[in-house]
């Protein structure tokens, strides 16, 4: 199905099931421990063995010798795989360095060997017996030091008007530099896979967000026909972008299983999750704002520096600045430095999340300079068209409504505009706000629908569920379209033998995948109507029946004695070029800072989101409060500490890499505006899981400033950066 005309009325608009806060249909499996994650499919294979990955002990250089004798002779060892004996491998298109290194080493903890043994302990002990000699090379590990050598990314440059002249002439200006650190996805489930060969065919149970991508990359790396590789990933224990691409666990499990002649399980140990897989790269961001005395922005400039391996990509931290606020004269630019740290890549809301961490502090600073309320300053500079192309309107844009409703609900009027003045005993208290923005992305997505003689519906698509509720919203979509109850729908996900979907990433998953199911259901409705002699245009699907006029027939009769099976996909036309499609929100936060110790505590949080039709308010709220929690980590705790001598992340486990826990998170409230966007998809929905993160950290930083009077521009906001600057208690 081609979607190139704004959707008007369709069966989804009944919203008897879609749009309702239904419980997750997979909830019982997860709460009882019956949901099988990647490392738990041992029942599907016989006599599986265990693989243990050895990571490189240097960040850059070469392996000059590798002594495998002790490992091969160790008890229980079945095989040892290295680049020297793995056979010919191609590098996939979606990673900057080979997943199996050697003799060249591209980054610290790059996989250089896999030991396969009868037990995990045997594999681990044998891997530690491998002796590796290295020739270490000089590397670049410091973004600040590499800033001057960073190259401009040509396709990222954007200029409208004459920024430099307008900024120089502006009555009120701000120029400031902000930094965000390297961050880890720190998902609960590590990267894990089980691989099994059947002749020349390979099956891998893995933890991967994008099944079609992963299967294609694995086939390419192993130089195999794509149809000979099957990936299965029904449940994923968190990904946040870190499992978008094929990683070493899946490749090494496949190589290990081939070498051992048995199925092999591989899970990356936690330090390798930080150093071997991807992370959110650090940024240095320069923001310049110019405005008139009336508070209207006349010049807005945003430049960002980030680093990655040679051939990598920049963190796109300026994207939101192109679209979020009005201003005739604009300049954005990305610069990329070559660093020899582990690969930087997508982490929840790549670009907008770190970009808003800087931009929304700058907006707060500018409002203070102008003597304007931070909420009103943002409202004053709203725009209903793409500021770079005034002829291109937003399909929906309710940023102002989010800010005003949030201010009212949060009690913004009680905020003391003078920083450091509000107190609660020994605690300095403050309120902060930030706008939220994330583009609405859509991707082609397909599904297969089966109708049986009892009227039961089975949906098959390689869409994944990373804890987001995909099973439930897909079931809601199919049930709504076919007029059956939720108990009549079975959803099967995460298998590359199913039609390729959008997958989970970029906030495109829910909207695109359900639109793909919608397309398949439209085709099934037509097939049912034809089989039963109905005019599909007049037919009503409801209560497990199809009816028109006085005639009604049970849905299952269309299947006959077997099944009625259809398959289709949603393909998006050029609506995203004719309209700017984005999601918007506003975050409000209250913090308290201990005037003696500097300890910062979050007291309450509010997110107001405008993100199209909310397909399931319960699962969507779960996504947003999880994102808000991640925002607390990004503001106050999370930082991969770089050893700038040896080029690795020091705090590469969950003991040293701090994330928020329950005690850190108080009352959270989420409000969804009543919005449908007919330009986005037939579902009239958008994504919301990343929008909930965008802006949170800046709202916290602004609240800390309001509480203490100390303005911090370097994340995370830890007490050592402001303790000696706190106001004295009277």
- Give whole-number Cα distances, 436 to 26, 125, 384, 607, in Å: 30, 48, 16, 9
DSSP classification of residue 156: G
The question of whether 690 is a catalytic residue gets the answer yes
DSSP string, 514-525: HHHHHHHHHHHH
Query: Is 725 strand, coil or helix?
Result: helix
**Where are any strands of DSSP class E within 314-426?**
329-338, 385-386, 389-393, 423-424
Query: Cis omega before residue 479 (within 30°)?
Result: no
As beta bridge partners, residue 177 has 286
Query: Cis omega before residue 103 (within 30°)?
Result: yes
Residue 198, Cβ neighbours under 10 Å: how many? 9
Which stretch of DSSP H or E encloses residue 317?
A: none
**Where are any strands of DSSP class E within 578-628?**
582-594, 600-610
- Which residues are within 8 A (CB) of 142 and not within 5 positions of it... i.e. 6 or more apart? 339, 642, 644
Structure tokens at 152: 């401009």
> Closest by alpha carbon to 727, among 429, 428, 430?
428
> Closest by alpha carbon to 299, among 348, 332, 259?
332
Question: Tokens 């850190």 belong to which residue?
Answer: 664
Q: How far apart are CA 250 and CA 258, in angstroms?
A: 13
Q: What angle do CA 583, 514, 499 make, to 5 degrees?
A: 130
Query: Is 259 strand, coil or helix?
Result: helix
Out of 343, 352, 690, 728, pick the active-site residue.
Answer: 690
Q: How far apart are CA 650 and CA 637, in angstroms?
A: 15
> Closest by alpha carbon to 419, among 32, 644, 722, 74?
722
End-to-end C-alpha distance for the chain, whole angstroms: 68
- Which residues are within 8 A (CB) of 119 and not within 5 positions of it... i.e. 6 or more apart? 50, 76
Residue pair 619/468 in contact by the 8 Å Cβ criterion? yes
- Catalytic residue numbers read 690
């Amino acid at each position: 199905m081609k979607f190139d005309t704004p959707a008007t009325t369709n069966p989804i608009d009944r919203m008897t099931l879609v749009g309702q806060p239904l419980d997750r249909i997979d909830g019982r499996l997860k709460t009882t421990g019956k949901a099988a994650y990647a490392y738990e499919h041992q029942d599907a294979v016989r006599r599986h063995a265990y693989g243990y990955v050895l990571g490189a002990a240097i960040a850059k250089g070469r392996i000059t010798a590798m002594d495998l004798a002790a490992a091969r002779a160790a008890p229980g060892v079945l095989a040892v795989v290295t680049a020297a004996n793995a056979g010919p491998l191609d590098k996939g298109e979606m990673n900057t360095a080979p997943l199996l290194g050697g003799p060249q080493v591209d980054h610290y903890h790059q996989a250089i060997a896999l030991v396969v043994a009868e037990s995990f302990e045997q594999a681990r002990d044998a891997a530690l017996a491998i002796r590796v000699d290295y020739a270490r090379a000089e590397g670049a590990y410091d973004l600040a030091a590499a800033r001057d050598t960073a190259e401009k990314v040509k396709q990222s440059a954007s200029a409208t008007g004459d920024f430099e002249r307008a900024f120089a002439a502006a009555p009120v200006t701000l120029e400031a530099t902000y930094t965000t650190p390297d961050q880890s996805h720190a998902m609960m489930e590590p990267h894990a896979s089980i691989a099994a060969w059947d002749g020349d065919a390979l099956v891998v149970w893995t933890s991967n967000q994008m099944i079609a991508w992963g299967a294609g990359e694995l086939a390419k790396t192993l130089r195999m026909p794509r149809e000979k590789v099957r990936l299965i990933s029904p449940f994923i224990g968190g990904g946040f972008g870190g499992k978008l691409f094929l990683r070493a666990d899946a490749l090494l499990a496949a190589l290990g299983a081939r070498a051992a002649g048995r199925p092999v399980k591989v899970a990356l140990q936690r330090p390798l999750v930080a150093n071997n897989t991807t992370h959110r790269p650090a940024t240095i961001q320069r923001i310049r704002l110019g405005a008139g005395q009336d508070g209207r922005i006349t010049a807005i400039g945003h430049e960002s520096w980030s680093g990655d391996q040679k051939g990598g990509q920049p963190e796109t931290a300026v994207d939101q600045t192109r679209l979020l606020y009005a201003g005739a004269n604009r300049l954005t630019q990305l610069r990329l430095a070559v660093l020899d740290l582990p690969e930087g890549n997508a982490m929840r809301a790549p670009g907008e999340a770190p970009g808003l961490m800087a931009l929304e502090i700058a907006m707060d600073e500018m409002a203070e300079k102008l003597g304007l309320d931070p909420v009103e300053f943002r409202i004053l500079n709203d725009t209903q068209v793409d500021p770079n192309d005034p002829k291109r309107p937003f399909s929906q844009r309710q940023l102002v409504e989010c800010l005003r409703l949030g201010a009212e609900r949060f009690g913004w009027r009680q905020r003391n505009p003078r920083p450091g003045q509000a107190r609660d005993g020994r605690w300095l208290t403050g309120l902060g706000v930030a706008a939220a923005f994330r583009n609405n992305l859509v991707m082609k997505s397909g599904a297969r629908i089966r109708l049986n003689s009892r009227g039961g519906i089975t949906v098959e698509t390689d869409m994944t569920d990373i804890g987001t509720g995909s099973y439930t919203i897909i079931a809601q979509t199919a049930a709504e379209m076919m007029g059956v109850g939720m108990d009549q729908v079975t959803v099967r996900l995460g298998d590359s033998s199913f039609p390729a979907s959008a997958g989970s990433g970029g906030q495109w998953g829910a909207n695109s995948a359900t639109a793909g199911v919608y397309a398949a259901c439209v085709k099934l409705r037509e097939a049912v109507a034809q089989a039963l002699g109905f005019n599909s245009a007049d037919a009503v699907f409801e209560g497990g029946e199809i009816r028109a006029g006085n005639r009604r027939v049970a849905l299952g009769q269309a299947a006959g004695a077997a099944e009625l099976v259809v398959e289709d996909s949603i393909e998006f036309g050029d609506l995203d070029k004719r309209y700017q499609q984005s999601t918007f929100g506003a975050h409000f936060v209250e913090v308290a800072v201990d005037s003696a110790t500097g300890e910062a505590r979050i007291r309450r949080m509010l997110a107001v989101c405008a993100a199209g039709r909310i397909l399931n308010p319960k699962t969507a709220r779960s996504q947003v409060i999880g994102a808000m929690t991640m925002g607390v980590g990004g503001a106050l705790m999370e930082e991969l500490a770089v050893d700038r001598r040896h080029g690795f992340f020091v705090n590469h486990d969950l003991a040293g890499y701090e994330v928020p826990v329950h005690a850190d998170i108080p009352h959270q409230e989420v409000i969804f505006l009543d919005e449908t966007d007919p330009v986005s998809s037939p579902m009239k929905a958008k994504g919301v899981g990343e929008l909930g993160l965008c802006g949170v950290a800046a709202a916290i930083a602004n609240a800390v400033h309001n509480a203490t009077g100390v303005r911090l521009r370097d994340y995370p906001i830890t007490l050592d950066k402001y303790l000696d600057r706190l106001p004295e208690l009277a």
